[in-house]
A = this chain, B = another copy of it.
Amino acid sequence: MNTKILLGEDRIPKQWYNIIPDMPGPLAPVIHPGTLQPVTPDDLLPLFPMGLIEQEVSSQRWIDIPDEVREVYKLWRPAPLYRAHRLEKVLGTPAKIYYKYEGGSPAGSHKPNTAIPQAYYNKIFGTKRIATETGAGQWGSAMSFACQMFGLACTVYMVKVSFNQKPYRKSMMQLWGSNVIPSPSDRTNAGRAILAQFPDSNGSLGIAISEAVEDAATHEDTRYALGSVLNHVCLHQTVIGIEAKEQLALVNAYPDVVIGCHGGGSNFAGIAFPFAADKANGKNVRLLAMEPTSCPTLTKGVYEFDYGDTAKMAPIAKMYTLGHDFMPPGIHAGGLRYHGASPLVSQLVNAGVVEARAVAQKGCFEAAVMFSCAEGIIPAPESSHAIRGAIDEALQAKEEGKEKTILFCLSGHGQVDMTAYDAYFSGQLEDYEYPAEAIRESLSHLPKVSF
């Protein structure tokens, strides 16, 4: 009885799957925040290298993965697919539960899947330095690792409260050679403006994004990198689902439902898009995005044009949004606190291809502890949302007496997130449902765009 389904490194995918040609209808344009007109590739050149801009808008279904990227992927890919025998037994479910584990990467999450190609395309473009931001530190550490692999300098604007409270991830970034700056900083106009007004500001992801974007835009040799939301980020993450599909085929399995956690959308896209391709071809498979009730973008937001950041400096995209000035409470799944969502995932939700479900955090930690006591691996708080979804599906299968095959993505391990578990065990966590009134308020500030 197999527990792990492994692939040799010759089975690392040779191509990423680009869902754009298989989308249900044309993509909405991306809008320039200054002109309110559609952005052109040239508009994006100060921020991204041409290789990534091309991928952002490509209509080619399969895009070759460069050998240099596959070589670095070999350090942890193909990632193992597990059959959760022990969890199934604890649940007493007739369902078969599989999980794709992305926590074995050097940075401990799925983020390096895109950080590595982003560093590579910047390297061949001639970029010398990457400027990026990080909240809790998952993305910053992935990008730091990637820059180290390709000999790029890296400046990470880290939200100040995390810089002070999460020293472990800061140290990981420094180990991989990054310059980690607590944000707001005095290095950018954006940072100085905040500090002038609020000298003791703890920072926010919105401010950190503004600083990183400004740093890149004002330095010839520097480009910006984003860890989620964008089309090319979702593209790179499809190695997850492509491998999982091949691994399931080795045991003659195919999922009835594919589950991922959802913040900006990159992990969900990674596991789900390769199955969405089958669904577009008539295959019967459910795709389920799990988000927190404290930041319920897909379930309580609207599908409209909105800014990608709080400061209204980032492009405007059509997506599910809670409003760019929506302030989610400080739940522990920091990676899921984004007011918007990937435009690709949003369009699929709007078209009914993808289902979304919101879950409260105590139930997620309960699921994570149950999982860890059965399967060993300690999940990242973000990943616990996918586990909650998988367990609920398995319990439903039990109630209905149905065999069902469930696949979920375990996006990262939680060994550096133990303070969140501590808070859960000591009863300090509260479930939080964002008040409809507050969402209505932030949704009243959407930009007036119609294309």
Give residues in A with beta carbon < 8 Å to B.
Answer: 2-4, 6, 8-9, 71, 74-76, 82, 104-106, 108, 145, 148-149, 167-169, 171-172, 174-177, 369, 372-373, 375-378, 415-416, 418-419, 421-422, 425
Given contacts A168-B168, A175-B378, A177-B373, 15 further A-B contacts (CB under 8 A): A3-B9, A6-B8, A104-B104, A106-B376, A106-B377, A108-B415, A167-B418, A167-B422, A168-B419, A171-B419, A172-B418, A175-B418, A176-B372, A176-B373, A416-B416
Contact A174 B2 (CB under 8 A): no
Q: How far is the CB of A332 from chain B (nearest CB, A)?
A: 13
Contact B9 A74 (CB under 8 A): no
Contact B9 A378 (CB under 8 A): no
Contact check: which of B6, B176, B375, B416 meets A168 at CB < 8 Å? B416
Contact check: which of B74, B372, B376 meets A3 at CB < 8 Å? B74
Q: How far is the CA of A373 from the CA of B145 in the complex (A)?
A: 8
Q: How far is the CA of A171 from the CA of B332 in the complex (A)?
A: 15
Q: How far is the CB of A73 from chain B (nearest CB, A)?
A: 9
Which 8 pairs of residues, A with B, have the shortest CB-CB distance?
A: A106-B376, A171-B418, A3-B74, A168-B418, A75-B376, A171-B422, A148-B373, A171-B421
Q: How far is the CA of A356 from the CA of B142 in the complex (A)?
A: 37
Query: Residue of B at shortest CB range from A169?
Result: B418
Contact check: which of B2, B9, B416 meets A415 at CB < 8 Å? B416
Contact check: which of B104, B106, B375, B421 meets A378 at CB < 8 Å? B106
Contact B376 A149 (CB under 8 A): yes
Q: How far is the CA of A168 from the CA of B171 in the complex (A)?
A: 15
Q: How far is the CA of A422 from the CA of B421 in the complex (A)?
A: 24
Query: Residue of B at shortest CB range from A106?
Result: B376
Contact A415 B172 (CB under 8 A): yes
A171: chain B residues at CB < 8 Å are 418-419, 421-422, 425
Can you sample 23 A-B contacts with CB below 8 Å? Answer: A4-B9, A6-B6, A6-B8, A6-B9, A76-B376, A104-B104, A106-B372, A106-B375, A106-B376, A148-B373, A149-B376, A167-B419, A168-B415, A168-B416, A171-B419, A171-B422, A172-B378, A175-B425, A176-B372, A176-B373, A177-B373, A416-B416, A416-B418
Q: How far is the CA of A176 from the CA of B172 in the complex (A)?
A: 26
Contact A175 B421 (CB under 8 A): yes
Q: How far is the CB of A427 from chain B (nearest CB, A)?
A: 13
Q: How far is the CA of A214 from the CA of B419 in the complex (A)?
A: 31
Q: How far is the CA of A145 from the CA of B374 in the complex (A)?
A: 10
Q: How far is the CA of A104 from the CA of B104 in the complex (A)?
A: 7
Q: How far is the CA of A6 from the CA of B167 in the complex (A)?
A: 34
Most chain B CB within 10 A, of A168, A177, A373, A376, is at A376
Query: Residue of B at shortest CB range from A2?
Result: B9
Q: How far is the CA of A415 from the CA of B170 in the complex (A)?
A: 11
A8: chain B residues at CB < 8 Å are 6
A418: chain B residues at CB < 8 Å are 167-169, 171-172, 175, 416
A415: chain B residues at CB < 8 Å are 108, 168, 172, 415-416
A172: chain B residues at CB < 8 Å are 378, 415, 418
Q: How far is the CA of A403 from the CA of B362 in the complex (A)?
A: 56
Contact B419 A145 (CB under 8 A): no
Q: How far is the CA of A151 from the CA of B9 in the complex (A)?
A: 36
Q: How far is the CB of A165 from chain B (nearest CB, A)?
A: 13
Question: A3 with B175: in contact, given A168-B415, A376-B145, A415-B168 (CB under 8 Å)?
Answer: no
